[in-house]
């Protein structure tokens, strides 16, 4: 996962690094949180043309030339946060307004699985999301929804994504691979549709350097040989880790552990911290409701929560920056080093993670909790309305006649499995 410099980079970046030309921006008086080595030390950060041109000790002679200088006032400089698994639709806003909400929190890259809009509009919905996220300061990358519809035969969804659709969409800019594969039973049974989708993304043949993209997983149920088979098919991440045993088992099998807040516990963090070597870990959000986003935060809140439950602060920061960037093969971000995108957050500490200043591609996009970028008025997704065909409803539609005139009746219920997002079919007796 070494960084491969862009040999086509303009000479100006090299000249600025050599101090032969003035930089666009110089960040001084900051403490750099190096997520590669785990160190924290004073540094000057040189930014030019949206990238980091140089990182050097403060006061390096001869003095730097820069068109703008920002005094970090001793704050910590950390990479912009990278969320490797989420659904923007869960926030009930468009990508532009989502960016307006999360940029002030220090989130600069997200990997979107658009399966909610795909369930309704199919490929057209995915392309609409892509168009709506183009040109905004938040970097929105895409993983193509693998399970649309999510429950064939059980629901009447508006859209469907097949192997040919996946193959075509993998060629689009900012598409990183296949989003969460949820139907493990179908893979094990040799379902032809899902096998073809995995083939298109490079799965079913082990992990290859030349595969078109990553393959993300959603696997709360498989164990033993079934779990091995699921991973052998190329599905090597999971964001449904509810127990310490789940975490350790999947870490041992090479699965990238994507930890969302709802599954964080002291027991899970203790199991992670007890592993002798660093494993592939990403902090993710998955689904965040709009009220929770405004009240508690986004990926920044997951970071704070993980630390509060015992995760080493630098390890947690690494799991929200360097780890997800490597997982997604985004070699141009995730750390503050020369040649990478100038996505930088100034904060008082990792534990508090209060974003005082946020740079995205070298531009100041947020300060003290305020987004300095305004979404465009002509939001492309606002045209996608009237997508729920619904017959006229009357009170009779909501009446469920009981099979008995008196006493109790057996009814179907949905049972929630404690400490998970799983549900099971159950029965209960009601008067």
- 386 pLDDT above the threshold of 50: yes
With contact defined as beta carbons under 8 Å apart, do 131 and 380 qualify? yes
pLDDT at position 4 is 41
- What is the pLDDT, as a whole number, of residue 154? 75
Q: With 60 as the cut, is the pLDDT of residue 85 above it?
A: yes
- Of 361 and 159, the structure prediction assigns the larger pLDDT to 361
Q: Which domains does the chain have, with CATH numbers?
A: 80-330 (3.20.20.140), 395-430 (no CATH)
User: Residue 5: what pLDDT?
Assistant: 47
Contacts of 327 (CB under 8 A, 6+ apart): 84, 214, 237, 256, 280, 282
3-state DSSP call for residue 267? Answer: helix
User: At residue 418, does pLDDT exceed 90?
Assistant: no
> Is pLDDT of 379 > 90?
no
How far, in Å, CA of 156 to CA of 160, rounded? 10
Residues 331-348: what's their mean pLDDT?
A: 98
Give the mean model confidence (pLDDT) for residues 116-133: 94
Q: How confident is the model at residue 76 (pLDDT cuts 50, 70, 90)?
A: very high
From residue 26, alpha-carbon distances to 13, 31, 337, 397 in Å are 14, 14, 14, 65
The answer to whether the CB of 359 falls within 8 A of the CB of 365 is yes
User: Average of pLDDT values for 208-230?
Assistant: 86
pLDDT at 221: 87
pLDDT of res. 9 = 56
Identify the helix (H) or strand (E) that includes residue 302. helix 299-308
Q: Which residue has the higher pLDDT, 243 or 107?
A: 107
* Cβ atoms < 10 Å from Cβ of 395: 6
Please state, rounded to an integer, the average pLDDT across all residues of the chain: 92
The answer to whether residues 244 and 270 touch, using CB atoms and an 8 Å cutoff, is yes
Q: Beta strands 107-112 and 81-86: pairing type?
A: parallel
Average pLDDT for 86-90: 96
9-45 per-position pLDDT tens digit: 567 999 999 999 999 999 999 999 999 999 999 999 9
Whole-number percent of the chain with pLDDT over 90 = 76
Please give the structure tokens belonging to residue 124.
């057209």
**Prediction pTM value:** 0.92
Average of pLDDT values for 350-360? 98
Looking at residues 214-218, what average pLDDT do you find? 94
Write down the pLDDT at residue 380.
66
Q: Is the pLDDT of residue 387 over 50?
A: yes
Whether pLDDT at 208 is above 60: no
Q: Give the pLDDT score at 158.
A: 84
- % of the chain residues with pLDDT over 70: 94
Q: Is the pLDDT at 2 greater than 80, yes or no?
A: no
**pLDDT at residue 1 greater than cutoff 50:** no
| φ/ψ (deg, to 5) at 133 | -100, 0
pLDDT, average across residues 355-359: 99
């Amino acid at each position: 996962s070494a960084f491969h410099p862009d040999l086509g980079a303009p000479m100006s970046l090299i000249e600025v690094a050599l101090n032969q030309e003035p930089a666009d921006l110089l960040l001084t008086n900051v403490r750099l949180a190096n997520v590669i080595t785990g160190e924290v030390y004073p540094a000057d950060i040189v930014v030019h043309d949206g990238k980091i041109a140089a990182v050097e000790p403060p006061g390096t002679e001869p003095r730097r030339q820069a068109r703008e200088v920002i005094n970090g006032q001793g704050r910590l400089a950390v990479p912009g946060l990278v969320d490797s698994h989420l659904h923007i639709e869960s926030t009930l806003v468009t990508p532009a307004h989502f960016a307006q909400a999360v940029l002030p929190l220090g989130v600069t890259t997200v990997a979107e699985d658009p399966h909610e809009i795909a369930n309704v509009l199919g490929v057209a919905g995915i392309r609409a999301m892509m168009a709506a996220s183009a040109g905004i300061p938040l970097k929105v990358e895409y993983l193509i929804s693998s399970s649309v519809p999510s429950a064939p035969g059980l629901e009447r969804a508006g859209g469907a994504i097949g192997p040919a659709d996946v193959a075509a969409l993998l060629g689009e800019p900012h598409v990183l691979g296949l989003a969460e594969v949820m139907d493990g039973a179908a893979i094990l049974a040799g379902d032809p549709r899902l096998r073809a989708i995995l083939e298109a993304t490079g799965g079913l043949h082990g992990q290859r350097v030349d595969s078109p993209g990553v393959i993300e997983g959603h696997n709360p149920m498989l164990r033993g040989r079934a779990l091995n088979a699921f991973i052998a098919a190329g599905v090597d991440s999971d964001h449904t880790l509810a127990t310490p045993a789940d975490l350790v088992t999947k870490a041992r099998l090479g699965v990238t552990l994507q930890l969302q807040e709802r599954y964080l516990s002291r027991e899970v963090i203790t199991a992670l911290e007890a592993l002798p070597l660093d494993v592939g870990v990403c902090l993710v959000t998955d689904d965040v409701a709009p009220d929770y986003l405004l009240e508690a935060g986004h990926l920044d809140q997951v970071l704070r929560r993980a630390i509060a439950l015992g995760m080493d602060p630098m390890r947690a920061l690494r799991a929200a920056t360097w780890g997800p960037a490597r997982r997604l093969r985004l070699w141009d971000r995730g750390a503050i080093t020369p040649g990478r995108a100038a996505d930088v957050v100034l904060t008082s500490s990792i534990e508090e993670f209060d974003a005082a200043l946020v740079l995205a591609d070298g531009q100041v996009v947020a300060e003290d909790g305020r987004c300095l970028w305004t979404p465009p008025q002509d939001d492309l997704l606002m045209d996608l309305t009237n997508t729920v065909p619904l017959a006229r409803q009357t009170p009779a539609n909501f009446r469920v006649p009981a099979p008995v005139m008196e006493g109790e009746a057996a009814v179907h219920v949905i049972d929630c499995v404690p400490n998970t997002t799983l549900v099971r079919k159950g029965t209960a007796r009601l008067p």
